[in-house]
Amino acid sequence: MNKLLATMLESKFRLFDMKTQHPVEGFAHSTERCHKATTWMARHLPQNRDVWLTSGGNGGLNLYRYNYPAARTERDAEGHLRGKMGGIELLNARIVSSQPIVGWDWSADKCGLAAAVCLDQTMRIFIVTRLEKL
């Protein structure tokens, strides 16, 4: 629940752990390179917020999962709590369009069912399987 995901122009995304804020360093975060083009958007799976999908300007989709660390916080030399980031795991990557995917919506009712819109003037329906096992 306590995660914020931001996409960037340099084909990266940054995941923030919003549970603990350090007075100097801020929130713990991790930056990952995800596409060979601009990362257009990211959407969390409604049934499991530890799973999300990013779309790139190359028409690609990447599916990720967050793995929590053993301890989410640690104390620095001054005694302040500092957040610790866990691991980010790439589950799958596919190129599905020749143009950027600019819209993605997961179904709130059916886990893994989604709709996407692309700049090639198409709308696609996707079924992502085995998400309940994550």
Dump pLDDT digits (tens) for 93-122. 999 999 999 999 999 999 999 999 999 999
- Which pLDDT value is given to residue 42? 94
Q: Is the pLDDT of residue 34 over 80?
A: yes
- Ordered by start, the domain boundaries in the chain are 3-97
Say if residues 106 and 114 touch (Cβ distance below 8 Å).
yes
Determine the Cα–Cα distance for residues 125 and 114; give it in Å rounded to an integer: 6
Question: Rounded to the nearest 10 degrees, how much is the dihedral formed by the CA atoms of 124, 129, 133, 134?
Answer: -40
Q: How confident is the model at residue 41 (pLDDT cuts 50, 70, 90)?
A: very high
CA atoms within 13 A on the CB side of 22: 21
Q: How confident is the model at residue 1 (pLDDT cuts 50, 70, 90)?
A: low
Dump pLDDT digits (tens) for 58-94. 999 999 999 999 988 888 888 888 888 999 999 999 9
Average pLDDT, the chain: 91
Write down the pTM of the prediction: 0.89
